[in-house]
Structure 1
Amino acid sequence: MELSIADAGVRLGGRWVVDGIDATPPPGALTGLLGPNGAGKTTLLRLVAGLLPPERGAVLVPTPEGPRPVHTLDRRARARRVALLEQESHASVPLTVREVVALGRIPYRTLWGSDPDERAVDRALDAASAAHLAARSWATLSGGERQRVHVARALAQEPELLLLDEPTNHLDVAAQLSLLAFVRDLGVTSVAALHDLNLAAAFCAHVLVLSDGRLVAAGPPADVLTPELLARVYGVDADVLVHPRTGRPVIALTGHADPPLLGPPQEDA
């Protein structure tokens, strides 16, 4: 999917939480959405998902009639194209894992409640390496297992655009690497809010860096994740090295940045 975020902004509680974002994540690739707590990452994902209407600008997705603001699509049409994996809820529900994943098929159910492609649930479970959990009760799963099931439910929607808010939460190191490699290789336009800069550097083709609701940098991780940007946005002193096997950036943090390195976000980034 060719996604275009055009001067998008929204206020919450009278404050601009997302302020004039212009970005075009590359189609079919994984884009990392980065920034410190409170930067606006979750709000931007909800804007892109069409769950929040922008107060200015637009989030445009392609339709047969041409680009259209995503929030103007009806809920059923939007859910067939966009899947949002939000930060995990800890609520227990009396459902099996297979039943939870099948919730992703709701947009495809007919008037009589049937799904024209029930095998999509099996494909999603297999893709997320969660097929062995299918008969388990949702309430008995660990945090990491639940995250895999959430991914399977999102995949069951067969989306053209996959949005993930902190998808590596509750996962051990091996599971984090496996999940992001899987999303990277899906061939689906994906945007993931991530806190771990090294995971973003290792798996993302493109990154968007937010600070105080504004986009301060965008591009390939090797171009964007510089010591200067990390000092300015995160307030940390860091060296950016090159991984000896992959050639991807590796960020070595050494402490807080010196005050002279800090400053307001650059509007021309």
Structure 2
Amino acid sequence: MELSIAGVGTRLGGRWVVDGVDATPPAGALTGLLGPNGAGKTTLLRLVAGLLEPQAGAVLVSDPGAADPVAAVPVHAMPRRLRARHVALLEQSSDAAVPLSVREVVALGRIPYRTLWGTDTDPGAVERALVAASATHLADRAWSTLSGGERQRVHIARALAQEPSLLLLDEPTNHLDVAAQLSMLAFVRDLRVTSVAALHDLNLAAAFCEHVLVLSAGRLAAAGPPAEVLTPTLLRQVYGVDADVLTHPRTGRPVIALTGRSPDAGERAG
């Protein structure tokens, strides 16, 4: 899916929490959405998902190769059922207990594909999503018995069950140990689906993302390949920290070695 974020802005609580963001994440690749707490990452994801209507600009999506083609339309204006077939948002998971099995939770992702009689147009989609997310062994477990990391994997399976052409993820590595974080981001990257993931860990973003967007106080501070964007100057300006940016000896990707808070760092959002 092709995604264009064109001058998008919105106010919450009387202030612009996203302000004039222009970006075009590359199609079929993983884009990291970076920035300090309060920079507007979650709000921008919700705007891209069509859950919030922008008060300025527009989020445009197109997917001419899909079974039900979409051509350069504002995402928030798409019919809800059609939007749910194209766009999946994995929000930060909650610990709410629901009386469902894992298979039933994943099946919630198939709601946009149910007929008027409640039957799924593709009965095998749930099982494929469980397999893709390596969650088959959890299928018959009660949701309430899962660990945080297991729940995150099931959330991914539910999003995949939607068969989206645009996948949005808000802190997908939360609750995961180091090995699971690496596995999760490699999995999303290798889907070759247009994906945007809000991330706090800069080294994970540098290792797995083809493209990054850096927000600061609701505005786009920088965009581009991690090696070009994640510089000591940007890290000082946006995060208020001093860092050395090294090159990984195996991958050639940037590795960020933080050295401390920048002595000239002022008050920053978040």
Q: TM-score range by the shorter chain?
A: over 0.9
Aligned residues of 2:217 and 2:268 also touching (Cα < 8 A): no
Q: Is the 8 A contact 2:4 2:59 kept in 1?
A: yes
1:35 is aligned to 2:48: no
- Residue in 1 aligned with 2:97? 92
- Superposition deviation, residue 258 in structure 1: 2.4
- 1:46 aligned counterpart, secondary structure: helix
- C-alpha change, 1:65 and 1:31, in structure 2 (3 Å) is closer
Question: d(CA) in 1 for partners of 2:157 and 2:11?
Answer: 32
- Structure 2 residue runs without a partner (length 5+): 64-68
2:66 alignment partner in structure 1: none
1:197 is aligned, of 192, 198, 202, to 202
Correspondence for 1:21:
21
| Alignment root-mean-square deviation, CA | 1.4
After the TM superposition, which residues 116-131 of structure 1 pair with which residues of structure 2 at under 5 Å, given as runs?
Answer: 116-131=121-136
User: Do residues 245 (structure 1) and 250 (structure 2) align?
Assistant: yes
Q: Structure 2 CA distance, aligned partners of 1:263 and 1:144?
A: 34
User: Shift of residue 263 of structure 1?
Assistant: 9.4
Q: How many residues align?
A: 264
| CA distance in 2: counterparts of 1:262 and 1:244, whole angstroms | 34
The alpha-carbon distance between structure 1 residues 193 and 65, as it changes in their structure 2 partners (threshold 3 A), is closer
CA distance, structure 2, for counterparts of residue 117 and residue 86 of structure 1: 25
| Structure 1, gaps ≥5 residues long | none
- Contact residue 232 and residue 264 of structure 1 kept, 8 A: no
* d(CA) in 2 for partners of 1:89, 1:168: 14
Alignment of 1:85-234 (within 5 A): 85-234=90-239
> What is the CA-CA distance between 1:74 and the residue it aligns to?
1.1
Take 1:183 and 1:44, find their aligned partners in 2: how far apart are those partners?
Answer: 20
Deviation at 1:264, TM superposition (A): 8.8
TM-score (norm 1): 0.96
CA shift at 1:66, angstroms? 3.3
1:11 alignment partner AA: R
Measure how far apart 1:65 and its partner are.
6.8
Please give the alpha-carbon distance, in whole angstroms, between the structure 2 residues aligned to 1:264 and 1:176: 28
Q: TM-score w.r.t. structure 2 length?
A: 0.96
For the 8 Å contact 1:83–1:163, the answer to whether it is kept is yes
Q: CA deviation at 1:42?
A: 0.0
Go from structure 1 to structure 2 and tell me whether the alpha carbon gap of 1:181 and 1:232 turns closer, same or farther (over 3 Å shift): same
SS of equivalent to 2:39: coil
Q: Deviations over 1:191-236 (max 9, x none)?
A: 0000000000000000000000000100000000000000000000
What whole-Å deviation, never above 9, does each CA across 1:9-29 have from its counterpart, x for those lacking one? 000011100000000000000
Q: Percent of pairs identical after alignment?
A: 80
**More moved, 153-162 vs 115-124:** 115-124
Letter in 1 for 2:113: Y
The one-letter code matched in structure 2 to 1:199 is L
Which amino acid in structure 2 is aligned with residue 192 of structure 1? Answer: A
Provide the residue aligned with 1:48 in structure 2.
48
